[in-house]
Amino acid sequence: MPELQNNRRNRDQFLRELVAEVATTLQDVVGADEAEGFVKIVGLQMGKRINEDYTTAEDIGRWSLQDLADVLIDLKAKIEGGFSVESIQEDRIVLVNSRCPFAELAVGRPALCHLTSSVFGQVASAHFGYANVEITEAIARGDKRCRVIVSLNPDVATQASVHFHRGKI
């Protein structure tokens, strides 16, 4: 059997490619808005599972904004994202990302950003009752980095942000 030179398609790479191709196919077949809605639902389900994992594993009690930021950064680091805190204020966290978990596969597939916003929103709203998430910069849209604002104040929501409420999927 012939061997492929520089075959980098291990399970991780295969699954990243698979998710990226599903996002592209959805965008092409049903349109960008519907693809984003589908990915958002998947992200909400993943966020629920991820939140349960962190809530069970960490006996934090009531989470602080720093706890939330630490969890969001940790979960992205585990899937090879490069998130860090830009700022933490009274009712919001701003995170920046230098490395998308989907690497170059994210470019041109902005629907994948809804995985991030949905997971972040689901986890944040589970602990703070409400969250809105806005991605102001995205590698998938051609920016050099991602910038994600997680706000816990419904009065500062923008039209571009996605809203999350505890217990609603």
Per-domain residue ranges for the chain? 11-165
Q: Model pTM?
A: 0.85
pLDDT at 3: 58
Q: From its phi and psi, is residue 157 left (phi > 0), alpha (psi between -120 and 50) or beta?
A: beta
In angstroms, the CA 80 to CA 60 distance is 25
DSSP state of 167: T
In angstroms, the CA 104 to CA 139 distance is 9
- pLDDT tens sequence across 87-104: 999 999 999 999 999 888
Task: Tell me which fold the domain 11-165 belongs to.
Answer: Muramoyl-pentapeptide Carboxypeptidase; domain 2 (3.30.1380)
- pLDDT tens sequence across 21-74: 988 898 899 988 888 888 888 988 999 999 888 888 766 678 899 999 999 999
The partner residues of 164 in beta bridges, in order of sequence, read 131
Tokens read off for 33: 């808005």
